[in-house]
């Protein structure tokens, strides 16, 4: 097999070359290659445009550079879609290209992953191998992502550089054009209230809103009302014109189950055998109008709670994304195993819904969950079930994946960064080995403490197997006990003692907060628990965490910890509802 001698004996034998009028992401791809190869080898590879004469063998960036279009077929390029890439040795040269600049950038990062061991574990922790030479074997690599939309919905994963390096195209990532851009949503959440604001219309037009028990309430929209459709269409058209950078616009139900039960809406839903019937018919009409403004626009809606079941008659238009949510499920085991064990379970019904929606739409996305929302610091060990579930999605026609975690501005400390890394890799290739991801991440982030952290991950991952683990469990749900928590605490103390630097120890101590939280809420004596809660509060603040219970002020969360064991009593809970855009 031929070997391409890019660097040896402290000298670069290649130039990096891009097209004279290359796109920002293509130029960025070249600069990232330069930067990380230089860091790895202490040798700088010159970069220039193809306006300059050829001076050596070349690493060619983009299929429109030099004569690259003669070296790859149009069919090869077309097969890459929006984000796939090729890394190919050709004669003396090496070609890195996608069909789009984003694909080319992903190809550059894959080149670095394969040949200098580059990894971006978090937005601030990266690794690469130290090498004296860079010898590239003859290769013909082609990769296309398993999912067209890949979103790790964790605060730490919104960093644009992290997204680009880990091939996440999340809408909330700060992914500039230079970093390849993303699939930009105007609103990826519940939007009925934005379309027809109740503060504007309810007093004068209560008929615009859902009828419940013969009374109109400002909770959902009446989707059979022609004026609601007209107002919504005009609103979406305005959004499209004012936000040219966005491709996806949300027309999605509010976050409650008060669907309209007026005779007209009920008639549609009865015809369709589901409350999704009125939703999809309404969304299709909005999508048709949106297409007349901009042909590439996509309209996003939810199949969520009452609208989860697919309609019998109406299919979503080609420019409609249906996002199926599984908030009712359980995560102790893979969904397929739960469904086999309990055919009437919410997990079984969710998998049936995947199959039913996939039969009528080519743009089925899943909104999945990877954290306990009632207790952000409580371990939610879905590391391995995540891999099984993501493979199931891929194999059953799902095209987009969002995994929601703690998106608050303070992030979290329940292995959210590890989960973001796992999610990014699985969303690109669902067959990626989770154990391998955990090992390389823990070694890279926790250093000499990594073996203890891996033992902790196994400990908490084994605990809920065969049991019901949901998104809103309290710490006394039954799969964690005090003996397990004591062992987990011991493992973190061993990891901290083994840490080779203050920086590594600091990372371990932040994750230790999860176990300290569990130790605190398990304390039966109110006075002792209050004293430990005060100590933990100071530590949580020192790590700048802003929420430990979803959308709740930090002080309130600690008051609940003091008030009752396991923080179960929350009678005066105030939710600070906000949407991250």
The pLDDT assigned to 359 comes to 98
Say what the pLDDT of residue 22 is.
95
Q: How many degrees, rounded to 5, is the angle at CA 386 between CA 382 and CA 389? A: 135
User: Residue 412 has what pLDDT?
Assistant: 81
Indicate the average pLDDT of the chain. 96
DSSP 8-state assignment for residue 315: P
Mean pLDDT throughout 519-545?
A: 97
* 175 pLDDT higher than 70: yes
| Domains, the chain, with CATH or none | 3-144 (3.30.379.10)
pLDDT score at 410 = 86
Q: Please determine, for residue 577, whether its predicted confidence score (pLDDT) is greater than 90.
A: no
pLDDT band at 579 (very low <50, low <70, confident <90, very high): low
| Residue-level pLDDT at 71 | 87
Residue 511 main-chain phi, psi, to 5 deg: -70, -25
Evaluate if residue 576 carries a pLDDT over 80. no
Give the mean pLDDT of 310-314.
98
Which span out of 66-75, 105-114, 564-573 was modeled with the highest average pLDDT? Answer: 105-114
- If phi > 0 it is left, if psi is from -120 to 50 it is alpha, else beta; for residue 250 that is beta
Q: Is the pLDDT of residue 487 over 90?
A: yes
- 10-29 tens-digit pLDDT: 999 999 999 999 999 999 99
pLDDT at 157 over 70: yes
For residue 430, pLDDT over 80 is answered with yes
Mean pLDDT of 360-386: 97
The tally of CA atoms less than 13 A away on the side-chain side of residue 568 is: 11
Rounded to whole angstroms, the Cα distance separating 246 from 183 reads 8
pLDDT, tens digit (0-9, with 9 covering 90-100), for 376-387: 999 999 999 999
Sheet holding 364-369: strands in order across? 149-153, 400-404, 364-369, 320-325, 298-303, 248-250
| Mean pLDDT value across residues 191-202 | 97
CB atoms within 10 A of CB 199: 8
Q: Is 134 strand, coil or helix? A: strand
Query: What proportion of the chain, given as a percentage, has pLDDT over 70?
Result: 99
End-to-end, the C-alpha distance of the chain in Å comes to 50
Orientation angle between helical segments 526-542 and 554-563, nearest 10 degrees: 160
Q: What is the pLDDT of residue 571?
A: 82
Q: To which residue do tokens 């809660």 refer?
A: 533
Average pLDDT over residues 30-50: 97
**pLDDT average, residue stretch 344-350:** 97
Q: Are 104 and 97 in contact (CB under 8 A)?
A: yes
What pLDDT score does 248 carry? Answer: 97
Strand positions, DSSP E, 399-478? 400-404
**pLDDT given for residue 578 in this prediction:** 65
pLDDT bracket for residue 503 (50, 70, 90): very high
- The pLDDT score that the predictor gives to residue 383 is 97
| pLDDT higher than threshold 70 for residue 358 | yes
């Amino acid at each position: 097999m031929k070997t391409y001698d890019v660097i040896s004996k402290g000298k670069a034998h290649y130039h990096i070359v891009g097209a004279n009028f290359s796109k920002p992401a293509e130029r960025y791809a070249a600069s990232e290659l330069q930067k990380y190869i230089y860091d790895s080898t202490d040798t700088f590879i010159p970069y220039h445009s193809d306006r300059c004469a050829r001076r050596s063998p070349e690493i060619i960036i983009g299929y429109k550079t030099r004569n690259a279009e003669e070296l790859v077929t149009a069919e090869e390029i077309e097969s890459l879609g929006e984000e796939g890439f090729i890394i190919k040795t050709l004669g003396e040269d090496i070609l890195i290209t996608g069909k789009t600049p984003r694909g080319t950038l992903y190809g550059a990062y894959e080149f670095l992953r394969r040949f200098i061991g580059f990894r971006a574990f978090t937005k601030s922790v990266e690794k690469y191998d130290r090498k004296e030479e860079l010898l590239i074997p003859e290769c013909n690599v082609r990769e296309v992502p398993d999912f067209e939309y890949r979103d790790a919905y964790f605060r730490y994963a919104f960093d644009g550089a992290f997204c680009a390096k880990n091939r996440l195209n999340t809408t909330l990532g700060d992914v500039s054009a230079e970093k390849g851009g993303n699939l930009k949503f105007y609103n990826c959440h519940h939007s009925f209230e934005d379309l027809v604001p109740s503060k504007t219309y309810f007093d004068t037009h209560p008929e615009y809103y859902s009828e419940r028990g013969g009374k109109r309430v400002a909770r959902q929209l009446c989707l059979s009302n022609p004026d609601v459709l007209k107002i919504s269409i005009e609103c979406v058209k305005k959004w499209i014109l004012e936000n040219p950078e966005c491709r996806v616009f949300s027309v999605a139900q509010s976050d409650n189950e008060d669907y309209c039960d007026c005779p007209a809406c009920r008639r549609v839903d009865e015809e369709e055998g589901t409350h999704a019937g009125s939703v999809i018919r309404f969304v299709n009409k909005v999508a048709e109008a949106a297409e007349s403004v901009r042909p590439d626009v996509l309209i996003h809606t939810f199949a969520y709670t009452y609208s989860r079941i697919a309609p019998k008659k109406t299919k979503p238009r080609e420019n409609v994304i249906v996002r199926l949510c599984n908030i009712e499920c359980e995560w102790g085991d893979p969904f397929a195993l739960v469904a086999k064990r309990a055919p009437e379970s919410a997990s079984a019904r969710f998998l049936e819904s995947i199959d039913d929606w996939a039969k009528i739409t080519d743009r089925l996305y899943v909104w999945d969950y990877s954290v306990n929302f009632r207790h952000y610091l409580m371990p939610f060990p879905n590391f391995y079930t995540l891999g099984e579930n993501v493979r199931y999605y891929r194999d059953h026609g799902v095209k987009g994946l969002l995994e929601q975690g703690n998106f608050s501005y303070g992030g979290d400390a329940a292995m959210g960064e590890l989960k973001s890394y796992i999610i990014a890799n699985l969303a690109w290739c669902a067959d990626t080995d989770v154990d391998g991801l955990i090992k390389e991440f823990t070694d890279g982030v926790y250093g000499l403490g990594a073996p203890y952290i891996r033992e902790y991950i196994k400990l908490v991952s084994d605990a809920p197997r065969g049991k019901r683990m949901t998104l809103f469990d309290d710490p006394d749900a039954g799969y964690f006990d005090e003996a397990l928590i004591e062992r987990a605490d011991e493992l973190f103390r061993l990891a901290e003692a083994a840490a080779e630097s203050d920086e590594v120890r600091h990372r371990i101590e932040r994750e230790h907060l999860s176990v300290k939280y569990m130790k605190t809420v398990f304390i039966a004596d109110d006075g002792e628990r209050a004293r430990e809660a005060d100590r933990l509060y100071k530590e949580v603040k020192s790590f700048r965490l802003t929420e430990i219970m979803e959308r709740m002020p930090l002080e309130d969360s600690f008051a609940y910890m003091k008030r009752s064991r396991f923080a179960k009593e929350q009678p005066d809970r105030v939710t600070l509802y906000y949407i991250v855009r």
